[in-house]
Amino acid sequence: MKLRNLIFLMMAFQGYINYANAQQKRLAFVEGVVIYRPTKDSLPSDVFFIPSKIKKNEVQSDYYKRTFSNRDNVAFITYFQGIRWTMPQAHEILSKVNFEIMKYGVYFQESRLCHLTLIFDVTRIHDIIDDPNLIPDSTVLKVPIQYGGIEYKIKVQEQTIEMGVLKGFEII
């Protein structure tokens, strides 16, 4: 029953993808690690998103460790709550995603960690870039995290405009 509901919810988002294609919008499907603090009845306002691909036959925990160990990776602070307009069932779908527990920040707050594909609309990037008020802060911070009993420091910065506007996600 749960699998059938999940498939139905994902098919509902397919309607947005069909709409975007009909409107000649350019969508970017970016695989990666998502870190978020769960909320009871709504989507998290922001998530950390580290673009990275899992290797064929790689164990999920090894994938996370490899991603966190790579000093070139950056976790982008990505506005997440806005997808409720294009993906109304997003909270319900996210609540069904397989996740692991990890901790982040100076106080090592408990958070969830999962592997998703985020879908960004990159159609109007150049219109946004022309507005200097919309350019995000490019300051990179190092944030401590704990996963699998190991402490890492990951680089974190606000999402770049070039990534586009988040419109949804897919479960991998």
Is residue 1 a contact partner of residue 94, using CB atoms and an 8 Å limit?
A: no
Angle at the Cα of 104 from the Cα atoms of 93 and 149, rounded to 5 degrees: 100
Beta strand 109-121 with 27-36 is antiparallel
What amino acid is encoded at 69 in this protein? S
Helix (H) or strand (E) holding 18: helix 2-22
Report residue 158's pLDDT band, with 50, 70 and 90 as the boundaries.
confident
User: Is pLDDT above 70 for 151?
Assistant: yes
User: Is pLDDT above 60 for 75?
Assistant: yes
Report residue 1's pLDDT band, with 50, 70 and 90 as the boundaries.
very low
Which of 19-23, 27-31, 134-138: highest mean pLDDT?
27-31
Q: What's the chain's average pLDDT?
A: 85
Cα 45 to chain centroid distance, Å, stands at: 11
Between 36 and 96, whose confidence is greater? Answer: 36
pTM score, whole prediction: 0.84
Identify the pLDDT of residue 139: 84
Q: How far is it, in rounded angstroms, from Cα 169 to Cα 10?
A: 9
CA atoms within 13 A on the CB side of 32: 20
User: Is pLDDT above 60 for 3?
Assistant: no
